[in-house]
Structure 1
Amino acid sequence: MHASSFTARLVALAVIASVVSAKDDLPADCDRTATVKAGETCSDICEKYGVPTYQLAAVNKDIIDPSCSNLFANQVLCLGIKDLDCKATHVVKKGDTCHSIADAHNVAFETLLGNNPNVGHDCAWMKPGEVLCVAKERYS
């Protein structure tokens, strides 16, 4: 009984240490954060907080892998960098094209591509559910 109580305390300390060290991994100029809930994906977080898919990946490049398959509950992620945080977003729906999104938000096509390099130079990699930056100014 005593050993299991000790083990439980060790596990609790390990979880706390991982959360504290995760905050240490965030960029120094991180402007806003989110804590991952069990079962959440990068897509869920992007849509929930209005964070462009590319932005989430770029500012957390030292924390999450390119496929975003290593998230865990209570992990702290940076959502945006001070003065480089795109908050004007669009969630891609089936049938959307880069041109239709740019037109709908009155954004220059080149600016849309520049802020969302993950979609490719011809938008071939854009997919439904992805969150795009539709700001009129360039962030990347």
Structure 2
Amino acid sequence: MHASFFTARLVALAVIASVVSAKDALPADCDRTATVKAGETCSDICAKYGVPTYQLAAVNKGVIDPTCTNLVVDQVLCLGIKGHDCKATHVVKKGETCHSIADANDIEFDTFILNNLREGFNCTYMRPAEVLCIETEVIRRK
């Protein structure tokens, strides 16, 4: 019985240590965070917190893999960097285009592209549930 109590305490300490070390791994200028819940995907987190898909990947580079298959329950993720955080977002629906999203949100097309420009972004291959930035001004890049 004493050994199982010790094991339970050791496991609890390991969980606490992993959460603390995850918080320590966040960028110093992280503006907002989210804690991963059971069953959540990156798409779920982006839609829930209004975070562009590219932004979540960029600010957590080295923490989450490019396909976002390594999320862990209670993992703390950075959602945005101070001064570089797009908070106006749009979840892509089937049949939408970059032009239709920009027009519907009264955004200059060039601004829309600049705010969503990242490696692999292509208006032709946008997918439903992708979260895009719809800020009307260009967000500064870090």
Identify the TM-score tier after normalising by the shorter chain.
over 0.9
Work out whether residues 119 and 126 of structure 1, in 8 Å CA contact, stay in contact via their aligned partners in 2. Answer: no
Post-superposition shift, 1:63?
A: 1.1
> TM-score scaled by structure 1?
0.94
Structure 1 residues 106 and 120: CA distance shift in structure 2, 3 A = farther
Q: What TM-score, normalized to structure 2?
A: 0.92
Q: C-alpha distance in 1, partners of 2:77/2:49?
A: 12
Question: Aligned pair count?
Answer: 140
1:95-114 → structure 2 map (5 Å cutoff): 95-114=95-114
Structure 1 counterpart of 2:44: 44
Instruction: Indicate the percent of aligned positions where both proteins have the same amino acid.
Output: 74
- Structure 1: gaps spanning 5 or more residues: none
Measured in 2, the distance between the counterparts of 1:57 and 1:44 equals 13
Distance 2:4 2:61 in 1: 37
How far did residue 119 of structure 1 move? 7.9
2:29 is the alignment partner of 1:29: yes
Aligned counterparts of 1:14 and 1:96: Cα–Cα separation in 2: 45
Equivalent pair of 1:31/1:78 in contact (CA under 8 Å): yes
Q: Please state how far the C-alpha of 1:121 moved relative to its aligned partner.
A: 5.8
Question: Are the counterparts in 2 of residues 119 and 125 from structure 1 also a CA contact under 8 Å?
Answer: no
Q: Please list, as runs of the form range in 1=range in 2, the aligned pairs for 1:1-140 lying within 5 A after superposition.
A: 1-118=1-118, 120=120, 122-139=122-139, 140=141
